[in-house]
Chain A
Amino acid sequence: MSADELTLKDKAAIAGVGSTQYYKRGQSVPQLPMELAGKALMNACADAGLTIDDIDGFALYSMGFDTSLFSQWLGIPEVRFSALISGGGNGSAGSVGLAASAIATGQATCVASIMTLQQATVRFGASFAPKGKPGQTYSAPPSPEGNFIQPSGLMGPGNMFAVLAQRHMHLYGTTRENFAEVAISQRANAIRRPTSLQTQPLTLDDYFNARMISDPLCLFDYTMECDGAVAVITVSAERAKDLAQPPVYVMASANGGAGRWGQAITWMGMPDEYFASSGHRPAAKRVYEMAGVGPSDIDVALLYDHFTPMVIMQLEDYGFCPIGEGGRFVADGNIRWPDGGLPVNTHGGNLSEAYIIGMTHVKEAVEQLRGTAVNQVKDAEIALVTGGPASLPVSNLILHR
């Protein structure tokens, strides 16, 4: 088989994106989480010029989505593909790559990737807290591996990524001002958008006056807790040409990483060489190879931003600057829209628009490449989207118009 036949490049395209409105945590009640998913998917269908009857596959990530109940409710005529990238927010960008894989191999023709989130009953901020109690809104039950971390007080992802951030500061001289630049630049993007939950500018004073949550991270280094749903519909590149929107082609997608990255923040035994990283280096190399492009070809980057330092580490791992230079890269204004060399998270991201576990990043990339984004990057042709820095497998997606 030739390399052409083995690649995913340009075999599929995103035809539609849709969402619900975004809500602060718990405000979407009494709607059900799967109800939000259905509304988002219907909006994505309308965007594409398709109907629910066209959907025949689901390419998913993270927990909380039940294909069986969802298909039963909506009367999907025939489900031909349903698969999930293991883990949590790590798989957001990769779920679209999974959809493209299903289409390129003829398993399905019209595949939905959906995230729905309602944090009224589940709060991820304490997802590793000790002493799991039935019916509680937090915590993980003790496990043999968890025994080595839960007694320490690392109770949520923020505590754990703070440990990576502290090491990054120690090794490279990264500063809290650098973290603040990520938060402030994304807030500036968010407040121009009617969909954003954050509506006020963020100043450096606001940032340094905020309470510390887990040193070196303060309140504004953390994503918000939100409710809402986003759906993305992927079809073959051929079919996309006949639908309602200009196609946004899947150039490449990868998911994975080094085996010894492993459970990452919940074991802290990663090799020293890439401990203070996003875990994305192997997947970054693979996605660039598949796409046939490099960092200098990326016009806009939608980088998963659960915590500000992890944006900086991804800028390094995706080759936008040398390893260790991410802090200075953002300090120089590079990630600002519209004047920076690489506008990042033009929608405001998880930090300031809404946290729907990374799926808003895919939606924004599509809008950028259609030329309809609120904060449009001029003449954007190629966009990079990443899934959450987390345990294996981390994922990504390169799209072009």
Chain B
Amino acid sequence: MQGVLPKDIIELTPNVYTEPYWLATAEHRLILPRCTTCGTYRFPPGPFCWNCRAQEVEWIEHDGNGTIYSFTVVRHPVIPEVAEALPVVAAVVELPDTGGVRLISNVVDCAPEDVKIGMAVTIDWYDVRENTTIPVFRLAGG
């Protein structure tokens, strides 16, 4: 997979609110927390609904089809560990039907010059190590 950071510098440190998300990504499933009281998605997962302040959520599965909301092409290695991995396309991907949930991820295996705001993307999975998988995206039809 081209356009991702090296595996050895990626480390996840979930808390009680984010752990269900990362357990699901390890199974290649995207789930998002939605308030059981008012139906508002909250992301990243946290203890309160920002709309009604209730705490309980249900986890809703999403197909991972989204659009590129914005992006940058990271070219300069601010730490030496990433030098050989660059450039990477770091993108903010908005997920439809979620009230504006955005994931910050990579658009992989593409020419950076081809990436534009508004493009459709589909989810894929970057398996970092056992039980650690990061969602990434591909240009739809690309």
Binds B, one of A61-69, A197-205, A207-215: A207-215
A144 touching B15, Cβ below 8 Å:
yes
For the complex, give the distance between the alpha carbons of A123 and B22 in Å.
30
A130 touching B9, Cβ below 8 Å:
yes
Verify if B73 is at the interface (C-beta below 8 Å from A). Answer: yes
A139 with B71, Cβ < 8 A, contacts A148-B44, A159-B90, A163-B90 known: no
For the complex, give the distance between the alpha carbons of A217 and B76 in Å.
11
For the complex, give the distance between the alpha carbons of A217 and B50 in Å.
33
Query: Which residue in chain A gives the minimum CB-CB distance to B44?
Result: A148
For the complex, give the distance between the alpha carbons of A212 and B76 in Å.
8
Verify if B24 is at the interface (C-beta below 8 Å from A). Answer: no
Most A CB atoms within 10 A — which of B4, B15, B50, B102? B102
Verify if B112 is at the interface (C-beta below 8 Å from A). Answer: yes
Verify if A285 is at the interface (C-beta below 8 Å from B). Answer: no
* Residues 74-101 of B at the A interface (beta carbon under 8 Å): 74-76, 78-79, 81-82, 85-86, 88, 90-92, 100-101
B126 partner residues in chain A, CB cutoff 8 A: 151
Count: A-B pairs, CB below 8 Å:
130
**Would you give the 0/1 interface string for A132-168, flagging 1 where the beta carbon is closer than 8 Å to chain B?**
0000001100111111111111111001001110110
For the complex, give the distance between the alpha carbons of A156 and B74 in Å.
10
Verify if A272 is at the interface (C-beta below 8 Å from B). Answer: yes
Which residue of B5, B75, B102 contacts A268 across the interface (Cβ within 8 Å)?
A: B102
Tally chain A residues at the interface, Cβ within 8 Å.
46
Query: Which residue in chain A gives the minimum CB-CB distance to B105?
Result: A152
B82 partner residues in chain A, CB cutoff 8 A: 129, 153, 155
Verify if A267 is at the interface (C-beta below 8 Å from B). Answer: yes
Verify if A170 is at the interface (C-beta below 8 Å from B). Answer: yes
Query: Which residue in chain B gives the minimum CB-CB distance to A144?
Result: B15
Which residue of B4, B73, B85 contacts A215 across the interface (Cβ within 8 Å)?
A: B73
Give chain B's interface residue range (CB within 8 Å of chain A): 35 or more
For the complex, give the distance between the alpha carbons of A143 and B74 in Å.
22
Most A CB atoms within 10 A — which of B14, B73, B102, B105? B73
Q: How many Å from the CB of B76 to the closest CB on chain A? A: 4
Verify if A260 is at the interface (C-beta below 8 Å from B). Answer: yes
* Residues 57-81 of B at the A interface (beta carbon under 8 Å): 69-76, 78-79, 81
User: Can you list 15 contacts pairing A with B, beta carbon distance less than 8 Å?
Assistant: A129-B79, A131-B11, A148-B18, A150-B10, A152-B5, A155-B78, A156-B78, A163-B71, A167-B117, A170-B117, A212-B76, A213-B76, A215-B75, A215-B112, A268-B92
- Beyond the given pairs A164-B70, A166-B71, A268-B92, 18 more chain A to chain B contacts, judged by CB atoms under 8 angstroms and listed by A's residue number, are A131-B81, A143-B13, A145-B44, A146-B13, A147-B14, A151-B126, A152-B5, A152-B91, A152-B104, A152-B105, A152-B106, A153-B85, A154-B72, A154-B74, A163-B72, A215-B72, A267-B44, A268-B70
Interface positions of B (Cβ within 8 A of A): 4-5, 8-15, 17-18, 22, 43-44, 50, 69-76, 78-79, 81-82, 85-86, 88, 90-92, 100-106, 112, 117-118, 126, 128, 134
Interface positions of A (Cβ within 8 A of B): 123, 125-126, 129-131, 138-139, 142-156, 159, 162-164, 166-167, 170, 211-217, 259-260, 267-269, 271-272, 275-276
